[in-house]
Protein backbone atom coordinates (compact mmCIF):
# COMPACT_ATOMS: atom_id res chain seq x y z
CA UNK A 1 0.00 0.00 0.00
CA UNK A 2 1.20 3.49 -0.88
CA UNK A 3 1.46 5.67 2.20
CA UNK A 4 1.27 9.46 1.99
CA UNK A 5 0.45 12.35 4.32
CA UNK A 6 -2.53 14.68 4.60
CA UNK A 7 -1.61 18.26 3.63
CA UNK A 8 -4.99 19.96 4.02
CA UNK A 9 -8.73 19.73 3.48
CA UNK A 10 -11.12 20.56 0.66
CA UNK A 11 -14.36 21.74 2.31
CA UNK A 12 -17.71 22.11 0.59
CA UNK A 13 -21.43 21.40 0.64
CA UNK A 14 -23.46 18.76 -1.17
CA UNK A 15 -25.39 19.90 -4.21
CA UNK A 16 -28.83 18.90 -2.95
CA UNK A 17 -31.86 20.45 -1.27
CA UNK A 18 -30.28 19.63 2.11
CA UNK A 19 -26.89 21.32 1.86
CA UNK A 20 -24.79 18.90 3.90
CA UNK A 21 -21.14 19.73 4.64
CA UNK A 22 -18.39 17.46 3.35
CA UNK A 23 -14.62 17.39 3.60
CA UNK A 24 -11.98 15.64 1.50
CA UNK A 25 -8.43 15.20 2.72
CA UNK A 26 -5.82 16.56 0.28
CA UNK A 27 -2.87 14.17 0.09
CA UNK A 28 0.80 14.94 -0.61
CA UNK A 29 0.63 12.69 -3.69
CA UNK A 30 -2.06 14.91 -5.25
CA UNK A 31 -5.03 12.62 -4.65
CA UNK A 32 -7.85 13.02 -2.13
CA UNK A 33 -9.15 10.68 0.58
CA UNK A 34 -12.19 10.30 2.79
CA UNK A 35 -12.26 12.27 6.04
CA UNK A 36 -13.26 10.32 9.13
CA UNK A 37 -15.40 12.16 11.69
CA UNK A 38 -16.51 11.46 15.22
CA UNK A 39 -19.64 9.28 15.43
CA UNK A 40 -23.10 10.78 15.87
CA UNK A 41 -24.12 10.90 19.55
CA UNK A 42 -27.62 10.01 20.76
CA UNK A 43 -29.36 10.19 24.14
CA UNK A 44 -32.09 7.97 25.59
CA UNK A 45 -35.42 9.81 25.73
CA UNK A 46 -36.19 8.38 29.18
CA UNK A 47 -32.95 8.54 31.20
CA UNK A 48 -30.72 10.74 29.00
CA UNK A 49 -27.88 8.18 28.80
CA UNK A 50 -25.55 9.17 25.92
CA UNK A 51 -24.56 6.57 23.34
CA UNK A 52 -23.12 6.38 19.82
CA UNK A 53 -25.47 3.59 18.75
CA UNK A 54 -29.24 3.37 18.92
CA UNK A 55 -29.24 0.32 16.67
CA UNK A 56 -31.31 -2.00 18.87
CA UNK A 57 -33.82 0.65 20.01
CA UNK A 58 -33.48 -0.12 23.70
CA UNK A 59 -31.50 1.49 26.51
CA UNK A 60 -29.83 -0.18 29.53
CA UNK A 61 -32.43 1.66 31.65
CA UNK A 62 -35.05 -0.63 30.10
CA UNK A 63 -36.91 2.02 28.13
CA UNK A 64 -38.08 0.89 24.71
CA UNK A 65 -40.90 3.39 24.12
CA UNK A 66 -39.24 6.81 24.31
CA UNK A 67 -36.59 6.27 21.64
CA UNK A 68 -33.38 8.22 21.21
CA UNK A 69 -32.75 11.84 20.28
CA UNK A 70 -29.76 13.15 18.38
CA UNK A 71 -27.37 15.04 20.64
CA UNK A 72 -24.57 15.83 18.16
CA UNK A 73 -23.91 15.21 14.46
CA UNK A 74 -20.26 15.65 13.51
CA UNK A 75 -19.54 18.51 11.09
CA UNK A 76 -16.51 17.70 8.90
CA UNK A 77 -15.82 21.46 8.53
CA UNK A 78 -14.99 21.71 12.25
CA UNK A 79 -11.47 20.54 13.19
CA UNK A 80 -12.71 19.26 16.58
CA UNK A 81 -15.17 16.91 14.84
CA UNK A 82 -12.59 15.43 12.40
CA UNK A 83 -10.66 12.33 13.38
CA UNK A 84 -8.53 12.78 10.24
CA UNK A 85 -5.87 15.44 10.88
CA UNK A 86 -3.26 17.30 8.79
CA UNK A 87 0.10 15.52 8.87
CA UNK A 88 -1.39 12.07 9.47
CA UNK A 89 -0.08 9.19 7.37
CA UNK A 90 -2.76 7.47 5.28
CA UNK A 91 -2.97 4.82 2.60
CA UNK A 92 -3.66 6.22 -0.89
CA UNK A 93 -5.98 3.88 -2.80
CA UNK A 94 -5.54 5.87 -6.04
CA UNK A 95 -1.74 5.51 -5.94
CA UNK A 96 -2.14 1.74 -5.51
CA UNK A 97 -4.54 1.62 -8.49
CA UNK A 98 -2.06 3.59 -10.59
CA UNK A 99 0.74 1.13 -9.77
CA UNK A 100 -1.54 -1.71 -10.95
CA UNK A 101 -2.51 0.20 -14.12
CA UNK A 102 1.14 0.89 -14.96
CA UNK A 103 1.99 -2.79 -14.49
CA UNK A 104 -0.95 -3.69 -16.77
CA UNK A 105 0.21 -1.24 -19.46
CA UNK A 106 3.75 -2.59 -19.38
CA UNK A 107 2.50 -6.19 -19.57
CA UNK A 108 0.45 -5.67 -22.74
CA UNK A 109 1.88 -7.62 -25.68
CA UNK A 110 3.36 -5.51 -28.46
CA UNK A 111 0.64 -4.71 -30.99
CA UNK A 112 -2.25 -5.59 -28.65
CA UNK A 113 -3.47 -1.98 -28.63
CA UNK A 114 -4.84 -0.87 -31.99
CA UNK A 115 -5.30 2.75 -30.94
CA UNK A 116 -5.82 5.02 -27.96
CA UNK A 117 -8.01 8.10 -27.61
CA UNK A 118 -7.85 11.01 -25.20
CA UNK A 119 -11.11 11.82 -23.38
CA UNK A 120 -11.09 15.26 -21.70
CA UNK A 121 -14.50 15.01 -19.99
CA UNK A 122 -13.33 14.37 -16.42
CA UNK A 123 -10.21 15.99 -14.96
CA UNK A 124 -7.40 15.21 -15.57
CA UNK A 125 -8.77 13.37 -18.61
CA UNK A 126 -8.37 9.73 -19.63
CA UNK A 127 -6.75 7.64 -22.30
CA UNK A 128 -8.98 4.84 -23.62
CA UNK A 129 -7.13 1.91 -25.19
CA UNK A 130 -8.81 -0.18 -27.90
CA UNK A 131 -8.01 -3.47 -29.59
CA UNK A 132 -9.29 -4.74 -32.93
CA UNK A 133 -12.47 -6.86 -32.60
CA UNK A 134 -14.14 -8.10 -35.80
CA UNK A 135 -17.29 -9.14 -33.86
CA UNK A 136 -17.97 -5.58 -32.65
CA UNK A 137 -20.13 -3.25 -34.76
CA UNK A 138 -17.38 -0.59 -34.59
CA UNK A 139 -14.61 -3.11 -35.18
CA UNK A 140 -12.94 -2.22 -31.86
CA UNK A 141 -13.18 -3.23 -28.20
CA UNK A 142 -12.27 -1.04 -25.21
CA UNK A 143 -9.44 -2.81 -23.37
CA UNK A 144 -9.14 -0.34 -20.53
CA UNK A 145 -8.56 3.26 -19.52
CA UNK A 146 -5.86 5.12 -17.64
CA UNK A 147 -5.76 8.68 -16.27
CA UNK A 148 -4.06 11.32 -18.42
CA UNK A 149 -1.20 12.30 -16.13
CA UNK A 150 2.53 12.88 -16.71
CA UNK A 151 3.21 9.51 -15.11
CA UNK A 152 0.98 7.68 -17.61
CA UNK A 153 2.20 9.83 -20.53
CA UNK A 154 5.72 8.56 -19.82
CA UNK A 155 4.60 4.93 -19.64
CA UNK A 156 2.56 5.25 -22.86
CA UNK A 157 5.61 6.70 -24.62
CA UNK A 158 7.76 3.89 -23.20
CA UNK A 159 5.42 1.17 -24.57
CA UNK A 160 5.00 3.19 -27.80
CA UNK A 161 1.25 3.90 -27.60
CA UNK A 162 0.30 7.33 -28.91
CA UNK A 163 -3.27 8.61 -28.55
CA UNK A 164 -4.96 9.82 -31.73
CA UNK A 165 -7.15 12.89 -31.78
CA UNK A 166 -10.97 12.58 -31.66
CA UNK A 167 -11.18 13.61 -35.33
CA UNK A 168 -8.64 11.09 -36.63
CA UNK A 169 -10.02 7.82 -37.92
CA UNK A 170 -8.94 4.59 -36.31
pLDDT of 73-84, one tens digit each? 899 999 999 999
Please give the distance of CA 19 from its chain centroid, rounded to a whole number.
21
- Encode pLDDT of 83-120 as tens digits: 999 999 988 888 888 889 999 999 988 888 888 888 88
Q: Are residues 20 and 86 in the same domain?
A: yes
- Tell me which range, 6-15, 54-63, 112-121, is most confidently predicted by mean pLDDT: 6-15
* Pair (100, 126) in one structural domain: yes
Has residue 3 been placed in a domain?
A: yes
With residue 63 as reference, give the H or E element that holds it. none
φ, ψ for residue 115 (rounded to 5)?
A: -160, 165
Same domain, 51 and 30: no
Whole-structure pTM value: 0.67
The Cα–Cα gap between 163 and 170 comes to 10
In this structure, the answer to whether residues 31 and 97 fall within a common structural domain is no
The yes-or-no verdict on residue 41 having pLDDT over 90 is no
Q: Same domain, yes or no, for 80 and 67?
A: no
Amino acid sequence: MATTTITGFDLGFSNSALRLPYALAKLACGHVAKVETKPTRYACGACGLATTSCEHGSCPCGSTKTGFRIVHIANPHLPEDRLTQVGAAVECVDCDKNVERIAWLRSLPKGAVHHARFDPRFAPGSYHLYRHDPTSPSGFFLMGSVPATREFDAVLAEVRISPISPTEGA
